[in-house]
Structure formats: C-alpha cells, structure tokens
Amino acid sequence: MLFDSEIFQITALSLQVSALATLLSLVIGLPFGTWLALGRFRGRDVILSIVNTGMALPPVVVGLVVAMSLWRSGPLGDWKLIYTPWAIVIAQVVIASPVVTGLTAAALAALDPRLSQQLLGLGASRPQMIWRLWREARLPLLAALMAGFGSVISEVGASMMVGGNIRGQTRVLTTAIVLETSKGEFESALALSALLLVITYLINLALTWIQQRGRRKVE
Amino acid sequence: MKRIFPILLILFLLATACSPTPAAPANPNLILATTTSTQDSGLLDVLIPLFEAESGYTVQTVAVGSGQAMKMGEEGNADVLLVHAPKSEVEFMANGFGKDRALVMHNDFIIVGPAADPAGIKGKPVVDALKAISAGSAEFVSRGDDSGTHKAELNLWKKAEYDPKSAAPAWYLESGQGMGATLTIASEKGAYTMTDRATYLANKDNLQLEIFVEGDNALLNVYHVITVSPEKWDTANYDGALAFLNFMIAPATQEVIGKFGVDNYGQPLFYPDADKTDAELGL
C-alpha cells in the first residue's frame, strides 16, 4: 500500500513535470504554429501534415527514442538525464509540442484571412498584428493548451521508459497506477486513477473558466 | 549436442501427433496467469503449443508479476497459475483459493553489478554480499513490484538482517518494473541488482553488468503450478487447469523444460523438479 506522504509526492511530481512540459510546448508550439498558419511558402503542406501526424505520436515510441538518446551509450548520454524528472519533461515536450503546434495553426487558420491584412493596413507592425490575432483566437488557443496538458498528464509509456518509475524520484501518477495494477493492488490503482481524473478535471475546469470568461468579454 | 533439442522436440511432436486426437474439451478456453520470467524467456512459447496440441485446449497466457497472477486466481480471473512465490502460494492454498499445487521446476537468482564491483561482493555468499552492498558504496535497484523476484529479494535482505524498506537509504532504488527494465536501469546507473538467470542471459548483450554472486542455495527460484479452486469459483475451468498441471509435471514435458535454452545459452534456463519435494529444494 502507498503512504499518504508518498501519494502527495507522486502527485506533486506529476503536476510539476506535466506543467513544465506543457509550458515548454507552448513556447515551442505557439510561434511555430503561428508561422505555419500565416506563412506562405513551399513545403508548408508537407510540414503541416508532419505536425498533424505528430499529434498522434504514440508515447511509447517517443519514450523509446528519447530513452535510447539519453542512455549512457546514446548520443546525449553525457547529459546524465536518464531516469530523472528532466528526462520525463523532455519526452513530454516531444509529445505535446506537435499537439500545441497543430492546434495553434488550426486556430489561426480559422480566423478571417482579411483580419491580418486589415490590421497591417491600419499600420500595425507584424508583431502587433500577431499579438492581435492571438488575442482574437485565444479561445481555441486555450483549447490547444488544454489538449497539450491532457496529452502529457495522462501518458504512461514514455514516463515509464525514460523516468524508470523509480520510487521517490521519478514515479508519477500514471506509472504508479501501472505498478499498483501489476502488484494486484487494484484498490490502490483505482484510487490513484480517481485522483488523476479529479486533478485533470480541476485543471481543465480552471482553464475552461478562463476561456468562457474570455468569451463573455468578446460578446 | 546442439542438435539434440530439436530432435527431441520433433520426437515429442510426433508422439503427440500419433496419439489419438483427444475429444474436444467441453470448455476449451483456459486462462493461464503466469510470471513475466516464463514468458520473457520464451519457455512458454515452446510448452504452450505442445499442451494445446496434446489436450485440445486453447491457452490464453497472461504474463504478470506473481502478485498479480495470484490476485487473478483469488478473484477467479484465471484458471491455472504458474508462479514462483512459495510463501504467498502456501497462504493462497491455505485460504482455499487453490485446489492442487505441484512443484514444476526451478531456476536461480544471481546478483549482478558493474564490472568494477565497487562493493567487492564477488564470490561471497549472498548474505555477506548484501551486507557489503548495504554499506552504501553503490546503488542497488530493486524490482519493488511485489513480484516473486521482489519477494525473494526482500527475503534475502531479511537474512542479511537489513530492512531496506524501512531504512530507505539513498542507494536503494525501487523501479516498480519488470526484470528486463530493471536490469536496464541497473546497467545505466552502474548499480547492483538481483535477477533471475534466464532474464539476465536473454538481455546480457545489452547490459554492462556481470555476475558476482551465484550458486547459493538461498538463491533458488522455485515454480509451482496451481489450479484455481472450482469450489471458490464455479466459472473456473478446472478440468483444463488440471490437464495443464498434469502436462507440466509429465516426464516428457519435464525433459523439454530441462533442455530449454541450452541451444542459445549453452546452459539450461530451468531445471525440472517434478520428481522432487519442496523440502529437497530447501523450501
């Protein structure tokens, strides 16, 4: 059975790792997705389709590739990150970035194309124009953020492989659920599952609240 | 020598093929809950087809830790178990969850670690080796998953008069994963771990780990087959379970078990024990 303090530590690590990974995915995905939505260049469709495929990247595949890179025998072995929370963050960024990128591109592409031209016509600089577009699309952009967070807080394959599920160090909620199940401790596994669902729900509730408040302002 | 196993296998298959086809069992689906070690070593890939051909049953193998396997038996989600956690098994039988239990085979545990052997355990008896590791000069990776291997490891720590669970020293890591993943972690971290020989041999090429402790009687890993009690669960396929139990202890099967792995590793991975008693294996 798990102790209360251990559950707290596991939950805190899950939240820290997934929040950081989501934030980094936003830093990567928002500019990249914007560039894909607004850019007019050859090969854009190819890149978009690759990003959209990336949205369905199986976490175990990401886990395998990141693990092999971070192993001592791997190209990034000198970083000594394998079986640390940082390794999980790296894998989760790889998983969430395409999600944020793809949904950002879709959100901005859904805006009226005349809007950006109008803004530029009114004398807005390019950064000002992009800032307006982001504000305009903030509801679907928040949805992109939620999807990114949802994809990492719930994944288990990559966290297991690159984190190692080491007790007190890299054990997160999903890997703890797998472990409790393999021990035949189905009650603990269910309790942890419920905890994971409640936390995910609360975070999405908060984001939805922000999103809807934004909607009322728009109206 | 290398040719003997395939020839035996063919003879066995011929023998089973020549015998009259058994009448199809009333309920042909049999769920076997077993440990990852029997599955990962490939032993079941050899045995299950033989059993299916001989008996007419279709076996659904669920490979999990011994803890989960026995839980599946307790809750009627499996018909027959092939597990290696003797103490828990005795309890399982005492609580009436199992009907029959038979000794099948054993393999052995070994303690492996980085070539430099920082704790200096090479060739020591297992208890002394664990005491040396507990000085903390290197990390030790435990399965930490209530599996048969994990339980055996905790037993050995008890013999070494050390309790890593409650002391929770920084050098004691719990992976909570299967043997293969745990070996990888130990190899990457330059740590010691206890493993069954079969999984180590199967993964040896990818690991920077060497054997330091082996051959101690305390390191035997004994497998029993248990039929789930039809009195507890009338949904259990008891006829099939009993047929599997009898198959596992039949002399022909025992011979296949004893030859398994010799081709690939130059040594057997499991030792047949159906003609022995628990006491002879020190249980």
pLDDT band at B70, cuts 50/70/90? very high
Residues B176-228: tens digit of each pLDDT: 998 889 999 999 999 999 999 888 988 898 899 999 999 888 899 899 999 99
Tell me the residues of chain A between 60 and 99 that have a Cβ less than 8 Å away from chain B. 71-72, 82-83
8 Å CB contact between A96 and A25: yes
Q: How many CA atoms lie within 13 A of B114 on its CB side?
A: 16
pLDDT band at B10, cuts 50/70/90? low
When CB atoms are compared, the residue of A82, A160, A183 closest to B146 is A183
What pLDDT is stored for residue B20 in this prediction?
Answer: 47
Task: List chain B residues with CB under 8 Å of A167.
Answer: 144, 173-174, 176
Mean pLDDT of chain B: 89
Mean pLDDT of chain A: 92
When CB atoms are compared, the residue of B67, B177, B189 closest to A160 is B177
Distances (CA, A) of B206 to A51, A162, B7, B140, B194: 33, 17, 31, 19, 17
Flag the least confident range among A88-92, A128-132, B243-247: A128-132
Taking only Cα atoms into account, the Rg of chain B, rounded to an integer number of angstroms, comes to 20
User: Is B76 in the A-facing interface, judged by CB distances under 8 Å?
Assistant: no
Task: List chain B residues with CB under 8 Å of A1.
Answer: none
> Which SS3 state, helix, strand or coil, does residue B29 take?
strand
CA distance A214 to chain B (A): 44
User: Is B33 in the A-facing interface, judged by CB distances under 8 Å?
Assistant: no
Interface predicted TM-score (ipTM): 0.78
Tell me the residues of chain A between 1 and 20 that have a Cβ less than 8 Å away from chain B. none
The rounded Cα A39 to chain-centroid distance in angstroms is 24
Determine the residue of chain B that is closest to A175 in CA distance: B176
User: Is B41 in the A-facing interface, judged by CB distances under 8 Å?
Assistant: no
When CB atoms are compared, the residue of A82, A161, A184 closest to B68 is A184
Task: List chain B residues with CB under 8 Å of A186.
Answer: 71
Distances (CA, A) of A82 to A89, A91, A155, B103, B188: 11, 11, 18, 41, 8
Task: List chain A residues with CB under 8 Å of B188.
Answer: 71-72, 82-83
**Residue of B37 and A120 predicted with greater confidence:** A120
Distance CA B73, CA B82 (A): 11
Count of residues for chain B?
A: 283
Contact B177 A169 (CB under 8 A): no
Task: List chain B residues with CB under 8 Å of A165.
Answer: 175-177
Q: Is the pLDDT of residue A75 over 90?
A: yes
For testing contact with chain A, the best of B72, B142, B173 (most A CBs within 10 A): B173
Kindly report the backbone phi and psi dihedral angles of residue B177, in degrees, each rounded to the nearest multiple of 5, phi listed first.
Answer: -130, 180
Going from N- to C-terminal start, the domains of chain A cover 4-218
User: Is B139 in the A-facing interface, judged by CB distances under 8 Å?
Assistant: no
For testing contact with chain B, the best of A79, A167, A180 (most B CBs within 10 A): A167
Domains of chain B: 4-107+221-281 (3.40.190.10), 109-218 (3.40.190.10)
Distance CA A213, CA A52 (A): 29
Residues β-bridged to residue B173? B141
Evaluated on CA atoms A87, A92, A98, A103, the torsion sign reads: negative
Bridge-based pairing state of the strands B192-196 and B140-142: parallel
Place of tokens 């189905």: A186
Q: What is the DSSP letter of A165?
A: T
Give mean pLDDT, residues B100-129: 95
Contact A183 B68 (CB under 8 A): yes
Residues A22-52: tens digit of each pLDDT: 999 999 999 999 999 998 889 999 999 999 9
CA distance B224 to chain A (A): 19
Q: Is the pLDDT of residue A1 over 90?
A: no
Q: Is the pLDDT of residue A66 over 80?
A: yes
Flag the least confident range among A135-139, A163-167, A215-219: A215-219
Bridge-based pairing state of the strands B98-113 and B271-272: antiparallel
Distance CA B39, CA B68 (A): 15
For testing contact with chain B, the best of A3, A166, A174, A178 (most B CBs within 10 A): A166
- A4-218: which CATH architecture? Orthogonal Bundle (1.10)
Q: Calculate what percentage of chain B has a pLDDT beyond 70.
A: 92
* Angle in degrees, 0-180, between the axes of helices A126-136 and A4-38, rounded to the nearest 10: 130
Task: List chain A residues with CB under 8 Å of B68.
Answer: 181-184
